[in-house]
Amino acid sequence: MLNHTTIDRSLRALAEPTRRAIIEKLSVGPASVSDLAKPFATSLAAVVQHLQILEDSGLVTSEKVGRVRTCRIEAGGFDALGDWLAQRRSLVERQLDRLDTVLAELRPAGRSAHRKGK
Amino acid sequence: MLNHTTIDRSLRALAEPTRRAIIEKLSVGPASVSDLAKPFATSLAAVVQHLQILEDSGLVTSEKVGRVRTCRIEAGGFDALGDWLAQRRSLVERQLDRLDTVLAELRPAGRSAHRKGK
DNA sequence: CGTATGGTTAAGCATGGACTTGAGTATTGA
DNA sequence: TCAATACTCAAGTCCATGCTTAACCATACG
């Protein structure tokens, strides 16, 4: 399993509405810090702090040219989280399959009816 | 887009190592509250609180029979989060495609080299 | 040059969230 | 029926986190 700390940082970063809104905006396209701050009622400094956390989590990168910092989503920043999620879901599937098996053994003549088709 | 509050609750619930560990254990199979509490150094009450949060988030269900509460992963509890993630990733892909297009237009004779094959 | 713009950093505050303890309820088993 | 088990609930503590303000730098513009 890949580094657990990456998952932790990603999830913490995303578990905040403002940061999620920033991610949502950035997933449409790059933006400057003050562009990102505009929609929010909070101060610019607060947004900068959120951006710092997003960068530490590996979800966002930024580079400064002149006096403006341009932020963008880091492609692949969601991969660790995606893998973790996929693994959870596959394990849950496995559980349901085993349940099916058990039910099938309990009434061998019938067809288990509670699972959605493949 | 599906209910935003669901995403919020899922992410908040998962942004905590203990709760994630509980999820990981439950994705292997159902367990009682005290089974879940065993591996942790914390008190039982703390684990119960975590379970409450996980249930509120829709990731876990439980039912009490006799004096023991059995907890299990809610199949489909990860769907909203999975959809959100997938959408982010697809939007990021779109950005990269547009970038490819721009680069291709800048040097029409060359092949863009920075993307992995389809 | 001077001023505005865009961002950075630090300090302090306030709230939320994780944890503990302790007391209580309901079930089970001897 | 008594004790152990398996939670449940309430109250209180404490620390992390998000926010603000304020001072500060660097770059761009008239």
> Where residue B67 sits, what CATH number does that domain have?
1.10.10.10
Please give the tally of structural domains in chain A. 1
Detail the protein residues whose CB sits closer than 7 A to any atom belonging to strand C.
Answer: A 32-35, 37, 44-45, 48-49, 51, 64, 67-69; B 12, 16, 18, 41-43, 45-46, 49-50, 53, 65-67
Q: Within this chain, do residues B86 and B115 fall inside the same structural domain, yes or no?
A: yes
Residue type, B76: G
User: Would the CB atoms of A95 and B29 count as touching at under 8 Å?
Assistant: yes
Locus of tokens 């599937």? A93
Rounded to whole angstroms, what are the CA distances from B74 to A77, A88, B37? 27, 11, 19
Radius of gyration of chain A (CA): 21
Please name the residues between 23 and 62 in chain B that touch chain A, using a CB distance below 8 Å: 23-24, 27-29
pLDDT in tens, B36-88: 999 999 999 999 999 999 999 999 999 999 999 999 999 999 999 999 999 99
Q: Within this chain, do residues B85 and B29 fall inside the same structural domain, yes or no?
A: no
CA distance B14 to A117: 29
With contact defined as beta carbons under 8 Å apart, do B50 and B16 qualify?
Answer: yes
Q: Which residues contact A112 (CB under 8 A, 6 or more apart)?
A: A100, A103, A104
Q: Within this chain, do residues B95 and B117 fall inside the same structural domain, yes or no?
A: yes
With contact defined as beta carbons under 8 Å apart, do A10 and A77 qualify?
Answer: yes
Structural domain contains residue A54? yes
pLDDT in tens, A54-87: 999 999 999 999 999 999 999 999 999 999 999 9
Q: What is the largest CA-CA distance in chain B?
A: 74
CA distance A62 to A31: 9
pLDDT of A52 over the 70 cut: yes
Q: Within this chain, do residues B62 and B82 fall inside the same structural domain, yes or no?
A: no
Closest CA to B89 of A26, A1, A99: A26
pLDDT at position B117 is 44
With contact defined as beta carbons under 8 Å apart, do B11 and A15 qualify?
Answer: yes
Q: Within this chain, do residues B20 and B35 fall inside the same structural domain, yes or no?
A: yes
pLDDT at position B108 is 62
Nearest chain A Cα distance for residue B71, angstroms: 13
Range of the domain at A86: 1-107
Structural domain contains residue A118? no
Structural domain contains residue A36? yes
pLDDT in tens, A1-51: 444 689 999 999 999 999 999 999 999 999 999 999 999 999 999 999 999
Q: At A109, is the pLDDT very low, low, confident or very high (cuts 50, 70, 90)?
A: low
pLDDT of A105 over the 50 cut: yes
CA distance B15 to A8: 7
Structural domain contains residue A116? no
Q: Can you give the distance from the CA of residue A44 to the C1' of nucleotide D24 in angstroms?
A: 15
Q: Within this chain, do residues B9 and B61 fall inside the same structural domain, yes or no?
A: yes
Q: Within this chain, do residues B12 and B42 fall inside the same structural domain, yes or no?
A: yes
Which of A11, A85, A91 shows the shortest C-beta gap to B15? A11
